Structure 1
Amino acid sequence: MFVNCKRLGLWALVASCCASVVTTSVQAGDQVGSPTPEPMLTEQERAEASRLLKVMDAALSGESVPSDIRADVNLEFLRAQEGQVYVPFTLRLNPATVGQSVTVYVRLVPAGMVLAQPLDPEPAETDTGRVPVEPPSYPFEDVHFIDDLRLAEEGDYVVQRAFAASAGSYDLYIGVKDSELVETEFEEIRWGVIKRTVEVPDLWNGQLATSTIFVTDRVETIPAPLSPEQQRSDPYAIGSARLVLRDTLEYAKTDSLSFLFFIYNPRLVESKPNVTVEYNFHQRTVSGEELFNSTTPQNLSAETLPPQLDMTAGHQLSAGQNVPLSAFPEGIFRLEIKITDNELAASISRDVTFTVVGS
């Protein structure tokens, strides 16, 4: 029950996130490491997961599960392969409610699903004996054992992991158990379950679309391909680059706003797109919004893209910018990103809201 065959296929799916990125070091043809056989859990890990599994089943059964741990989760969406969407996520844990070592159980179920069967059900009797009860199957399920949680700039512990799913509506359950505490007569283990409704977008329907807009602190070059197990604990590593997301969207005037994203399903002319990306910055005012400025549009076409980019071969198209904020006054801004497919005469827009404070 604790070894999920769906996890094995995850890295084969994300391996297709090879990309030609205009503003980062990710290169066309980069791939995540090939999957290898799933490692079995140790006896200690199995016992640890079993404790948390009971709480997960109770939450999915509709029972009220008291939570000792305060947490929040942010999800991003990228196209993988075989009609799947790769969903890396960042889990933020309040250090006042959890230690630096945790067990994290991730379970994705169809929206509205309730676990009807009781926990540890008795097998049914037949003339030939008891029939084993098949455990329910889920679109995705995995368990992680994490030591030395990273402390983010804003003061939360941060966990980053991923799952993959087809487009659709889901309920995401994430169970967290403090692994540092041992339950005694005087000490209770801290744990909790958070639930989020997730709408996985259809990035394969042939319509112009984008990934999540990734607002980054930096992009690091990966010197060698990651193993599947390394990739599992490093879900924002894509090809030869690691996206280090920014912990906060509050910036000093000495900072720069850096972001990138992938563009899907443009109409192709001889394996190349013909896309224009515009960037408009709007400042929030007492009366609404005012256009503050715009940066130079990006033209992504056969005239500007590398000759080796071939979207029919699975290469992906991306865009992004690095915008110094020294000329921005203090305030709240909305970056409007408009993507236009010039061959289709179709446009979509994406927004990023951020704040500029004193230097």
Structure 2
Amino acid sequence: MRQTTQLTWLATALAVGLGLGLAPVHAQKKDDKAAPPADPKQVLISAIVGATNEAMKGAAGTTVYNADPVTRSVVADPATTVEMTLAIDYLKASDNKIYAPFTVTVQPDAIGKGANFGAYIRLAPKGAVPPAAPPPLDPKAQKEKEKQDKKNKKKGKEAQDLAGQAVSGVEYPWEDYYDLTATPRGPGGPLTFSRPFSVAAGEYDAYIAVTVKDPAAVPGPVKIAVHKSTITVPDYWADTFQISSVFLANKVTPLAEVPSGEAQKLKPYVIGNLEVAKAVDGKFASADELSIFFIIYGVALGDDKKPDVTIEWQPFKKGPLGEAKFRGVAPQKLNSETLPPGFDVAQGHQLVGSLNVPVSAFEAGDYRLAVKVTDNKTGKSLTHDVAFTVAGS
């Protein structure tokens, strides 16, 4: 379900404004002097949407644009480069959708000083071209959209059942805008932020656009970095033995109260009733806890409606001569003897693979954890490797 918000009024502005660069600059009429000043947020979002439209014409990668509210233009700035990455995880959601928490990493200070960002995400069908100017939004339709928005926010939505904002005035599989403060990954490190999206399985062009919100900046062109990549969202609704993304975390904490809807966006790595503190860079200190977390889908069930799954964990330590096995880890068994009596996949109960060990059990160095998941009822197996590093004391 799409959620529309007050940002939909941008459709009219974008038809002639900065974002599409379609209208020439005309001399101001006398009557215009009485018009209220432009909303700074509207100008900013229009610029971000316009830069994203321009990025739809280009290749994958990160491009910096100069958006000028005076000339109403968006122009690529090849002299400015910025390192920007997008990392996405995937899990099964509701309504045949896939829930995808993502983390964006941005090089600091390349597009402006500070960590207060205006950020925009758009998922478009793979190969989609920039949109034509959207039609002006009918005032009556706007009221209906705002009314529906209020209803959506009042609904008690399931975890991972999200709705995005209609920001651009064009219908996309997903788009959303955020005002946020990014956090540095260590002293002097890159800035990061995380949010989620929810779409059907398939191939998409994903766009992340960010600009620094500096209230002290001199009015004029703003720099906007747009990262474009093609992604494949897996189909966990297919009747196939498979696993979700494998989460490497510093800690996995059970929650008494689970956020949903808009609150879920602020904590995208809350999965079910578990909050996953993801280790984005895969680096651990000896005092940390190493946690692995994933969900298993499409398992065969016995007459008792219970699965029979074994998860094997084998760490390998990397060295100058290659890899060597590093200690043994007891396998995890998920069957009628270990699962709760009321466990029932048909009721939406999730089959979770997890490992929690103190990092102090590992020597300093680089590791590969080989994970093997076997459905004992069919004999089918899946494997996955997790890389991590333990820092020296």
* TM-score using structure 2 length: 0.72
- Tell me if 1:204 matches 2:231: no
CA distance in 1, matches of 2:196, 2:295: 18
- Check if 1:170 corresponds to 2:204: yes
Task: Work out whether residues 205 and 230 of structure 2, in 8 Å CA contact, stay in contact via their aligned partners in 1.
Answer: yes
- 8 Å CA contact 1:68–1:191 kept in 2: the answer is no
- Paired residue for 2:44, among 44, 48, 54? 48
**CA distance in 2 between partners of 1:163 and 1:59 (Å):** 20
Q: CA deviation at 1:46?
A: 3.1
- CA-based RMSD of the aligned residues comes to 2.6
State the percentage of identical aligned residues: 32
Per-residue CA deviations over 1:161-211 (Å, capped at 9, x if unaligned) read: 1112222222111110111156647x6423210012212112122121111
Please point out which of 99, 102, 108 is paired with 2:117: 102
Once the two structures are TM-superposed, the CA of residue 118 in structure 1 deviates from its matched residue by 5.3
The answer for the alignment partner of 1:58 in structure 2 is 54
Describe how 1:250-261 pairs up with structure 2 within 5 A.
250-261=283-294
Equivalent of 2:338 in 304, 308, 312: 304
Which of structures 1 and 2 has the bigger CA Rg? Answer: 2
Higher relative contact order (CA closer than 8 Å, sequence separation 6+): 1
Unaligned runs of 5+ in 1: 9-37, 123-133
CA contact (8 A) 2:210 2:226 kept: yes
Within a 5 Å distance, the mapping from 1:179-218 to structure 2 comes to 179-180=213-214, 184=218, 188-218=221-251
TM-superposition CA deviations, 1:205-249 (whole Å, max 9, x none): 212111111111223444434252211222112333322212432
Equivalent residue number for residue 149 of structure 2 = none
- Residues 1:344 and 2:378 are matched in the alignment: yes
The Cα of 1:77 is off from its aligned counterpart by 0.6
**Within 5 A, what are the aligned runs for 1:191-340?**
191-269=224-302, 270-340=304-374
- Hey, what's the Cα distance between the residues in 1 that align with 2:298 and 2:260? 30
Long gaps (5+) in structure 2:
10-38, 64-75, 137-167
Amino acid across the alignment from 2:285: A
Closer, same or farther in 2 for the Cα pair 1:223/1:47, shift >3 Å? Answer: farther
Count of residue pairs brought into register by the alignment: 311
Query: Where has structure 1 moved over 4 Å in runs of 4 or more?
Result: 117-122
CA distance in 1, matches of 2:134, 2:345: 50
Name 2:128's counterpart in structure 1. Answer: 113
Cα separation, 2, equivalents of 1:200 and 1:217: 26
Q: 1:159 aligns with which of 173, 193, 209?
A: 193
| 1:104 aligned counterpart, secondary structure | strand
Cα contact 2:269–2:275 (8 A) shared by 1: yes
Say whether the 8 Å CA contact 1:183–1:189 is kept in structure 2.
Answer: no
- Structure 1 counterpart SS, 2:341: coil
Match of 2:29 in 1: none
**Larger relative helix fraction:** 2
Q: Cα deviation per residue 1:131-183 (whole Å; 9 max; x = unaligned)?
A: xxx9653211111111x332333623221111122222221111101111566
CA distance in 2 between counterparts of 1:55 and 1:197 reads: 18
User: Secondary structure of 2:6's partner?
Assistant: coil
Contact 1:100–1:180 under 8 Å retained in 2: no
1:182–1:189 contact (8 Å) kept in structure 2: no
Preserved CA contact (<8 Å) 1:69 1:191 = no
Matched residue SS, 2:105? strand
Q: Secondary structure at the match of 1:232?
A: helix
| Corresponding position of 2:102 | 89
The residue that corresponds to 1:76 in the other structure is 89
User: Is contact 2:105–2:191 with CA below 8 Å preserved after alignment?
Assistant: yes
Q: What is the SS of the residue equivalent to 1:293? A: coil
More strand by share: 1
